Chains A and B, each alone.
Chain A
Amino acid sequence: MGEVILTMKDIDKSFPGVHALDHVNFEVRRGEVHALMGENGAGKSTLMKVLTGIYTKDSGTITYEGKDIEFHNTREAQDAGIVIVHQELNMLGHLTVAQNIFIGREFKKGIKIDDKKMNEEAKKLFDRLHIDIDPTETMANLTVGKQQMCEIAKAISHEAKVIIFDEPSAALTEAEIEELFKIIRDLREQNLGIVYISHRMDEIKVITDRVTVMRDGTYVGTLITNECTKDDIINMMVGRVIYEDPKTASTVPADAPVVLKVEHLNAGRMVQDVSFELRKGEILGFSGLMGAGRTETARAIFGADPKESGDIYINGEKVTINNPQDAVKCGIGYLSEDRKRYGIVVQKTVAENSTMACLQNYMSGIFINKKAEKKVAQEYVDSLATKTPSVDQLVVNLSGGNQQKVVIAKWLINDCDILIFDEPTRGIDVGAKNEIYKLMNKLASEGKSIIMISSEMTEILRMSDRIVVMCEGRKTGEVKIEEATQEVIMNMATREIS
């Protein structure tokens, strides 16, 4: 670890009704990987947005390379050498790798863009990172992991001195994460300061040198990673001890009635001849790699995308589901992995989002009974422990985990018996994760049946009663939790590839 390159001191930032950052301290040294951790809504993103000039701080100082600075936009921050690699990739799929990396500052030969030079420069960047990507390849043809590496290359091409990784591993496979870590270690060798935001405790232990923890907009403390345990960090994050062991045996009786039966479902390349059963009170895990067709299967069942063939039975009765309306009538609820796009209506309040699926139950005559609507929304805000000032708050102002809870409330209020949870804890921190796990177990014990799609092996092993594994659009296996191990599942998940 070298000298301190960046210091943020006493940073304070308020939004109407929220004290987002309360005198937060944070520093980065040259040649270190510094983890920034905290629950959703703890203020990590806000802090980084203040740093890169997206938000203006109310008070506090930022010292960078010995000088007090304040950036007014990301461009200024970039020029000074502070860049963010976002969780969501900002790439233009139809352009080549090199064109993407040098977008907005293309090399020119007269008025013509000099593609040859850009390809050469991109190649140099990749060499520096020891990665093998063809600069002339079209971006859309690369895997998510490779695209992320292009983002990193783009970041260092700005002569970056501090790179912020915002949950870089969320969409990567194990192998890709390994490669990412190799690059991060390389960058550390080159004396860059690295900020690493992640919710995955295992990664923090592997890759980082120090950990700074935030909670509810305040600075909790900074630890040296080697000198602390996982539990230390979690305790700092949530202020209490939480940990649950993986499930060892299913509590669902073998003769529990089948509530949902899917037979020979086909929907495009990603869903080919998928059949399975879901029993009452069961949590059925759907495991597999990215792009295995799990989400597509869920969407086809829910009627969100058209299906080509296949039968769906609910409580033994064959049903026709052509659109989400049919599915909701059948008592199916779908919680998407991308809640911003598919889950919530951001400009509406918590109450309005909560009753979105069953507004007809909250009408008096032709008018909406807003009192009853708010009452039921409040009930679920209380029972799900959703953090919101009131049910009249617009959901756009809630943090990710709390938005997720609003979507869950929507389906619970509609009294759905079959719930499809698609990556329910993606981008959600440990504390909120545990709450969602508890909630799922409670729902299952109350007789609801849950399909849980998850890319996290620990989550699958901890929550599922039974596990369906998919690979490249096909179901490649099914195991009971008693027989399930990481190896068994991985084996099935990669069956067709290898």
Chain B
Amino acid sequence: MEKIKQNPIVKKIGFNRIVLCGVLILMYILFSVTSKGFAGLPRILSALNYAYFLGFLSLGVTFVIATGGIDFSIGPVMFCAALISGYCLTSYGLPTALCLVISILVGFLFGCFNGYLVAYWTVPPFIVSMASMNIAKGLASVFTKTQSVSWPQAAEAAGWFRKLVKVGSFPVGLVIFLAAAVICSLLLNNTKAGRYILSLGSNKEAVRLSGVNVKKWEMLAYVICGTLVGIAAIFFVGAYTTVQPGYGDQYNNEAIAGCVMGGTSMAGGLASIGGTVIGVFIISLLQEGILALGINKNYQLIITGLIVIVAVYADVVARRRKN
């Protein structure tokens, strides 16, 4: 075991991530055996639909968790962005492109709001994101007068944005999501922003005393998160059409599960974009499998809840062993 861990190739990819890939493959085999007709492209495409929006949420929250913070508003903010921009499209007749920009803008503004309060007013992230979760829900309901919004279908002219998700049966969304993951990875590991975000997650005071504007970089993590949540909203409606006000919380847990499962530490300072991507695929496949097996959807809530606890516990244990 130790020998495998010390292998240079394994070290490069990360032992944890190889195990996760194994889990992913095993899950796929398991579902294919237990559920008739699970194997094949349609189920994979369906799971991917789920993976796109969840993936953007998870990528976003990875940056926040890297600072040692948390964001429980991502799911509701995604719904808020989808509702406000969708309402602009269907009720005010604004062009689709502009509505997509509005969606990203809503996410961005929530990110600025959360980040400013956390970094400059030093309100605990838990409290800030709980509050903005409710603000997002309320705002969306007020804006849409508590009506659900249905985005146009692919056949309609205004429905061209669905090509971002799928053209024929080619998963365009996968390409975009993976490209986004690569950009996020570069951002986190190879830029000043990423370096400071990770460092301040590990020891904020030492970074501050190195003459770094820690408030700015901490806020930036939330802004990046918010922006990615705005993009997540586009992929949500691109795959599922209808959005209802007052929901979205269940995706918080799933996005955070994907992130911590992938090796990002809840204590901050350690994050892996590659791990987050695999984590998201696992959650999405799980969702699809539960659907295919005809198990009550509520079990998924229980399972992802347990995943978060197990993943965080594993991180705590690993940390303790290191010390």
Q: How many residues of A contact B (CB 8 A)?
A: 31
A 366-397 to B, binary, CB cutoff 8 A, 1 in contact else 0: 11101000000000000000000000000010
The A-contacting residues of B in range 183-239, CB under 8 angstroms, are 186, 190-192, 195-196, 198-199, 202-203, 205-213
Q: Which residues of B contact A348 (CB under 8 A)?
A: 198-199, 202, 269
A 311-348 to B, binary, CB cutoff 8 A, 1 in contact else 0: 00000000000011101110000101000011111111
- Min CB distance B140 to A, Å, is 35
Whole-angstrom CA separation of A160 from B175 in the bound complex: 66
Q: Are A367 and B190 in contact (CB under 8 A)?
A: yes
Any chain A CB within 8 A of the CB of B3? no
Whole-angstrom CA separation of A414 from B207 in the bound complex: 14
Chain A, residue nearest B216 (CB):
A325
Q: Are A367 and B211 in contact (CB under 8 A)?
A: no
Chain A, residue nearest B190 (CB):
A367
Q: Given the interface contacts A363-B192, A368-B190, does A328 sit within 8 Å of B203 by beta carbon?
A: no
Q: Which residues of A contact B198 (CB under 8 A)?
A: 347-348
Any chain A CB within 8 A of the CB of B100? no
- Min CB distance A43 to B, Å, is 17
Q: Are B190 and A345 in contact (CB under 8 A)?
A: no
Q: Are B192 and A360 in contact (CB under 8 A)?
A: yes
Q: Which residues of B contact A346 (CB under 8 A)?
A: 202-203
A107-115, A181-189, A351-359, A459-467 - the one binding chain B: A351-359
Q: Are B211 and A357 in contact (CB under 8 A)?
A: yes
Q: Which residues of B contact A329 (CB under 8 A)?
A: 211
Q: Given the interface contacts A324-B211, A356-B207, A367-B186, does A345 sit within 8 Å of B199 by beta carbon?
A: yes
Q: Which residues of A contact B36 (CB under 8 A)?
A: none
Whole-angstrom CA separation of A368 from B190 in the bound complex: 5
Any chain A CB within 8 A of the CB of B270? yes
Any chain A CB within 8 A of the CB of B12? no
- Min CB distance A188 to B, Å, is 33
Q: Are A347 and B211 in contact (CB under 8 A)?
A: no
Q: Which residues of A contact B196 (CB under 8 A)?
A: 359
Q: Which residues of A contact B205 (CB under 8 A)?
A: 341-342
Q: Given the interface contacts A341-B203, A344-B203, A370-B190, does A359 sit within 8 Å of B195 by beta carbon?
A: yes
Q: Which residues of A contact B213 (CB under 8 A)?
A: 325
Main secondary structure of the interface of B (DSSP, over half): helix
Q: Which residues of A contact B191 (CB under 8 A)?
A: 366-368
Main secondary structure of the interface of A (DSSP, over half): mixed
Chain B, residue nearest A15 (CB):
B322
Q: How many residues of B contact A (CB 8 A)?
A: 22
Chain A, residue nearest B208 (CB):
A324
Q: Which residues of B contact A356 (CB under 8 A)?
A: 199, 206-207, 210, 212
Whole-angstrom CA separation of A356 from B211 in the bound complex: 9
Chain B, residue nearest A330 (CB):
B211
Any chain B CB within 8 A of the CB of A286? no
Any chain B CB within 8 A of the CB of A142? no
Q: Which residues of A contact B211 (CB under 8 A)?
A: 324-325, 327-329, 357, 414
Q: Given the interface contacts A344-B203, A348-B199, does A334 sit within 8 Å of B269 by beta carbon?
A: no
A 447-470 to B, binary, CB cutoff 8 A, 1 in contact else 0: 000000000000000000000000
Whole-angstrom CA separation of A19 from B87 in the bound complex: 65
Any chain B CB within 8 A of the CB of A302? yes
Any chain B CB within 8 A of the CB of A154? no
Any chain B CB within 8 A of the CB of A405? no
A 42-75 to B, binary, CB cutoff 8 A, 1 in contact else 0: 0000000000000000000000000000000000
Whole-angstrom CA separation of A405 from B5 in the bound complex: 31
Q: Are B195 and A336 in contact (CB under 8 A)?
A: no
Closest 9 CB pairs of A and B: A328-B211, A347-B202, A356-B210, A357-B210, A347-B269, A345-B203, A367-B190, A345-B199, A345-B202
**Can you list 23 A-B pairs, Cβ within 8 angstroms, ordered by A?**
A302-B209, A324-B212, A325-B212, A325-B213, A328-B210, A341-B205, A344-B203, A345-B202, A345-B206, A345-B207, A346-B203, A348-B269, A352-B195, A356-B199, A356-B206, A356-B207, A356-B212, A357-B210, A360-B192, A367-B190, A370-B190, A410-B210, A414-B211
**A positions within 8 Å CB-CB of B:** 302, 304, 323-325, 327-329, 334, 336, 341-348, 352, 356-357, 359-360, 363, 366-368, 370, 396, 410, 414
